[in-house]
A and B are shown apart, each in its own frame.
Chain A
């Protein structure tokens, strides 16, 4: 429906909507995160859910202890190579539609521990991350901002067509390769289907 006609009708007291909008409106206001924290960022995540910052305003106060019931994985903290397979497996076990917020410098790049021999240099090497938040750790406001960004993303997703999100596309994968411990590093070191680093123009 044309946006102009829609706002014209709204002025006359007639509210119109589409199935897609209702669907996305319901989804974006009931994003249940997975109760899962890896390091100090998790403390900020806890603070975000508590009374002072109150993530419940966004419909996300229900932290689910089971991946089967969660919609959103907040990767809050340093992902060690020991932990990475578990994180990917948890993501695989979440039901569609599922989203990922990489919270903090460690989750998006390895952060201050990037040179560490046992630190994964960003969880986006294995799972598709929707929102990255920098910060060490990010303040609760930053997490809320990431949350609102994710809500905007969910609201803009189309129900049909070529641009529809992964969970509505039967051909798109739902599970991603779980890395294994190799002799020196995780194998594979990255999932090339997911990880597309920006090319540096030199």
Chain B
């Protein structure tokens, strides 16, 4: 009783009871009055009126990885180019060379995609 944490314990018990009592009442109500009525339609996963067909585990076309890669090239490039341009005058030679190597690697990927014909919209 004298412990300063006593009231916290009391509050915690009240909070837990506050949460559990409605759940218990709902459970009791379901037990007493409303019977469970499951069925094949009600238990169906898909709920828009149409029956689901086939399996959810289907294959996607793997060709889309090219778009993902090309997007990544430009995306990453933009993220690094902006701070590079802003801080350009204050950069050391080593930083400049490092950035150029980084750009070269990305441009290399772009050239690879270009030669592969990805950039041509068919």
Contacts and interface: CB of A to CB of B under 8 A. Distances in A.
A67 interface: yes
Nearest to A173: B37
A87 B49 contact: yes
Chain B interface size, under 10 / 10 to 19 / 20 to 34 / 35 or more:
10 to 19
B41 A86 contact: no
B50 A86 contact: yes
Interface residues of B, dominant DSSP: loop
Nearest to A85: B49
B42 A93 contact: yes
B33 A178 contact: no
Chain A interface size, under 10 / 10 to 19 / 20 to 34 / 35 or more:
20 to 34
Contacts, number: 46
A97 B39 CA distance: 15
Contact of B42 (A66, A85, A169, A175): A175
Contact of B40 (A97, A159, A175): A175
A96 B34 contact: yes
Interface in A164-197: 167-170, 173-175, 178
A68 B37 CA distance: 13
A92 B41 CA distance: 6
22 contacts: A66-B47, A67-B49, A86-B49, A86-B50, A89-B41, A90-B48, A92-B41, A93-B41, A93-B42, A93-B47, A93-B49, A95-B42, A96-B34, A159-B33, A160-B33, A168-B33, A168-B34, A174-B39, A174-B42, A175-B40, A175-B42, A178-B41
